[in-house]
Amino acid sequence: MARLVALFEALTRGDVARLGDIYRDDARFKDPFNDVQGVAAIQRVFTHMFDALDAPCFVVSEAVVQGDRCFLVWEFSFRFRRERREQRVRGGSHLVFAADGRIEAHRDYWDAAEELYEKLPVLGALLRWLRGRMSA
């Protein structure tokens, strides 16, 4: 597990081509924006991350392993292109491993509204207002 965590924490654009080493050919990846299957599709998701963001970086703070399943708790930092301010998203990844040790399912969990949309100027104000109205 330490090797996998180290790979995600040090992931570069150049590593995307080698994702087949850790994902099965038919692996599924799902997050709040994507639901794809196959290594090529997963590579496109990560390539898009490097194309759209400056300095994307994962830091894993916890890994819980049980049999062929793992849950990683992480913080993702990045900057939007043409923006200086660093953004941070907190979330987790549920990984399921195949018999060959590669990932067959990867699902990321994070709150896109709180972690991303609320930080946008106009949309963020509306979402914060709605959250306030709906809270107890």
| Residue 123 within a domain | no
Write phi, then psi, for 88 (nearest 5 degrees): -135, 135
Report CA-CA distances (Å) from 98 to 27, 28, 29, 95. Answer: 9, 12, 14, 10
| Residue 125 within a domain | no
| Residue 8 within a domain | yes
Given a contact cutoff of 8 angstroms between Cβ atoms, the answer to whether 77 and 59 are in contact is: yes
CATH number assigned to the domain comprising residue 54:
3.10.450.50
| Residue 115 within a domain | no
Q: Tens digit of pLDDT for each residue in 14-43?
A: 999 999 999 999 999 999 989 999 999 999
Residue 135 has pLDDT above 70, yes or no: no
| Residue 86 within a domain | yes
| Residue 135 within a domain | no
Residue 126 has pLDDT above 70, yes or no: no
For residue 41, what are the domain limits? 2-110
| Residue 26 within a domain | yes
Residue 76 has pLDDT above 80, yes or no: yes
| Residue 18 within a domain | yes
